[in-house]
Amino acid sequence: MPLTSRLERRIRRDFPDPETAAEISRRLVGLPEAMGYSPDFFAQERCHAALVLLAGGSVGRFDEAVELASQDWRDLLVAADLAHQDWPARLRTELGPESP
């Protein structure tokens, strides 16, 4: 599943080096298979956004977030404040409105 346009924008903002941004995007797309999670769940914008938000522009923190997700994806959502029912509003705040 491709990344959403608003998440791509956030990645480019947080990782201004084009090569680093491309690498983060590539890794996000490949995560479901790499971690053994269901592509139906882990390819969702919510999980991708959690990793990007926790990274805060740092490749090292991105790696730490991936490690957290590999242990338990629910901990990832909690750490990124995306575990509650208001997670769609938080994504709008962090990433902007969804594109049609």
Distance CA 83, CA 76 (A): 8
pLDDT > 70? residue 37: no
Q: Give the confidence band of 70 by pLDDT, cuts at 50, 70, 90.
A: confident
Question: What is the reported pLDDT for 1?
Answer: 67
Question: What is the reported pLDDT for 3?
Answer: 92
Of 94, 98, 72, the closest CA to residue 11 belongs to 94
Quick one: average pLDDT of 41-52?
Answer: 86
Tens digits of residue pLDDT in 78-98: 999 999 999 999 999 999 988
Per-domain residue ranges of the chain: 5-95
Does the pTM exceed 0.85? yes
Distance CA 56, CA 86 (A): 21
